[in-house]
Amino acid sequence: MRIAFLRRKLVHLSAVAIIVATAVAGALTPGLASAEQNVATVPVDSAGMPASTYFPPTSHSLSGPLLKAWSTTGLMIIGYPISEPVQENGRVVQYFERSRLEVWPEHAGTKWEVQGTLLGTWLAEQRYGKTRNNPAFNALPDGLTSNTPDRVIFSETRHSLAYGFKNYWDKNGGLWQFGFPISEEFVEDGYTVQYFERARFEFHPENAGTQFEILLGLLGNDYAKALKIPTNPAAQPADAVIWDAGLFSPQIANAFRNGTGIWWGKVSTDAVSVRSAPRNDAPAMDVAYSRHPIVIYAIVKGDVREGTDAWYLTDNYGYVPAVYVAPLVLNPPPQTFGGHWVDVNLSQFYAVAYNGSTPAYVAIITAGRDGKTPLGTFNIQSQVRREIMDSATVGIPHGSSGWYYLENVEYTQYFLAGGYALHGNYWTPESSFGNFTSNGCVGLMNTDAAFFWNWLNIGDVVTIHY
């Protein structure tokens, strides 16, 4: 018997309520979400992202404000962590390949809560002395103040920033991430470089045209080595999942939510098995297909798949590897209506149930081939619980091209003369949903059609658009 995503939400409401309550609090209680299988959930933040993550390449973990700051810039800018958090000079700090991050709790709630150590300044002194015995560190003349779109001179340090380095500085965090320039460009170790308070930029012409054209010096490694900071491998914490970029996608904050504290994803591969436990060999309960919505109740640790051990707990106690799920971000409707209504987006192939401006439910749809689904704002005219759909009633005789005769069509809600309706579509394979396959109606899986049947009444609005 098929177990569908999002489809039995009301049936499982009591079980899900426990999960939702703990998810909103930001720390899911281990074992609570799925006691039947004794699977422990991992703590999440307010957006639903893991509160702690682990990096096998360096065998160190990240959590709290350090993880949040790292996630906003990431691997290419800061590098992997090479130590665990430590207390130094009254502050919590952590060492990374290209940086050393410091926690400033007095700035909590601002971007300055976590700041990078001035490692560029440190390295300049190590290599060129406190007097910076290199002409590139000499301040530009006071009279030179003209800025252009390609070059800017900072009065704070009397140094300029131009062209490729300026573009990189602007796009990757600017002052907060790198600090002011403290030198001009010059050649060092065979590369064109420029020093900043917190970093050293390197131009790598061998990587021209790629994301590696400009790289940052491994100043965190250099600083940790100079200070003899322990960088021995650490074990993966029990509450940390192995890092994957998708787990920390900024789009999770924009994912579909209905106010219960949980969020919706969509299948990001052709198809994925839903398993009874977060194990690669666990029995498959179902198959979910590309772009189909999946409600995310919790994150759990399980078998490693595509490099991460994070799995998502869906409804019906089914599990999918997190690596195959992306946030479901919906285009906003062009307008909203009062009461219960439905927005149908033919660009994304989703139907969304709204109560006023508040979304409540989302389902993947089929729509009419060759522009056959009408666009506009309509009202539900009639509802038929179960019926036969015969193409002859809309002018397509039996035996002609496009004719059909379908028995036991459920949850039909007509919104326009000529046979246009929302209804259950059992004859189209689930893998084909999210496409133009119908003769003009908006097709839904039967369990979705049942939800919309209960959601809408005669006169309620259905709006259809691209």
Q: Identify the CATH number of the domain in which residue 314 sits.
A: 2.30.30
- Same domain, yes or no, for 268 and 404? no
Is residue 322 domain-resident? yes
- Same domain, yes or no, for 270 and 199? no
Q: Given the structure tokens 């700051």, which residue do they identify?
A: 69
Instruction: Show the CA angle centred on residue 408, arms to residues 403 and 412, nearest 5°.
Output: 85
CATH number where 440 lies: 2.40.440.10
Euclidean distance between CA atoms 28 and 154, whole angstroms: 47
Is residue 307 domain-resident? yes
Domain final residue pick, 279, 299, 327? 327
* 388's tokens: 């036969």
- Main-chain dihedrals φ then ψ at residue 161, nearest 5 degrees: -140, 130
Give the model's pLDDT for residue 11: 31
- Same domain, yes or no, for 66 and 198? yes
CA 421, 425, 430, 431: dihedral to nearest 10 degrees? -60
Helix-strand-coil split of the chain, %, nearest 5: 25, 35, 45
- Same domain, yes or no, for 302 and 162? no
Q: Residue 112: name the closest of 176, 68, 66 by CA.
A: 176
pTM, two decimal places: 0.85
Strand 340-345 versus strand 52-55 pairing type: unpaired
- In the chain the first and final C-alpha atoms are separated, in Å, by 35
Is residue 231 domain-resident? no
Number of domains in the chain: 3
Domain final residue pick, 194, 226, 258? 226
Domain final residue pick, 293, 327, 361? 327
Q: What are the distances in angstroms from CA 349 to CA 233, 427, 439, 465?
A: 47, 18, 15, 10
Is residue 238 domain-resident? no
**Beta-strand runs (E) in 268-372:** 271-275, 284-289, 293-296, 298-305, 308-313, 319-321, 325-327, 340-345, 350-355, 358-364, 367-368
- Main-chain dihedrals φ then ψ at residue 349, nearest 5 degrees: 65, 45
Is residue 166 domain-resident? yes
- Same domain, yes or no, for 73 and 142? yes
Strand 358-364 versus strand 60-63 pairing type: unpaired
- Same domain, yes or no, for 317 and 359? no
- Same domain, yes or no, for 310 and 433? no
Euclidean distance between CA atoms 129 and 161, whole angstroms: 23
Instruction: Show the CA angle centred on residue 240, arms to residues 215 and 321, nearest 5°.
Output: 90
Residue 48's contacts (CB-CB under 8 Å, 6 or more residues apart) are 23, 252, 255, 262, 263, 296, 299
- Same domain, yes or no, for 133 and 217? yes
- Same domain, yes or no, for 310 and 376? no
Task: Tell me which DSSP letter residue 255 carries.
Answer: S
Is residue 397 domain-resident? yes
Please give the single-letter amino acid code of residue 66: L
- Same domain, yes or no, for 167 and 255? no
Is residue 366 domain-resident? yes
Is residue 242 domain-resident? no
Report CA 266 to chain centroid distance, whole Å: 11
Q: Residue 453: name the closest of 422, 407, 427 by CA.
A: 422
What pLDDT tens digit does each residue of the chain (466 aa) get? 233 433 333 333 333 333 333 333 333 333 334 434 578 899 999 889 999 999 999 999 999 999 999 998 878 899 999 999 999 999 999 999 999 999 999 999 998 999 999 999 999 999 999 888 899 999 998 877 678 888 999 999 999 999 999 999 999 999 999 999 999 999 999 999 999 999 999 999 999 999 899 999 999 999 999 999 999 999 999 999 999 999 999 999 999 999 888 999 999 999 999 999 999 999 999 999 999 999 999 999 999 999 999 999 998 689 999 999 999 999 999 999 999 999 999 999 999 999 999 999 999 999 999 999 999 999 999 999 999 988 777 777 777 777 788 899 999 999 999 899 999 999 999 999 999 999 899 999 999 999 999 999 999 999 999 9
- Same domain, yes or no, for 399 and 457? yes
Residue 273 structural domain: 13-50+248-327
Euclidean distance between CA atoms 216 and 196, whole angstroms: 11
Q: Given the structure tokens 């309620």, which residue do they identify?
A: 460
- Same domain, yes or no, for 319 and 252? yes
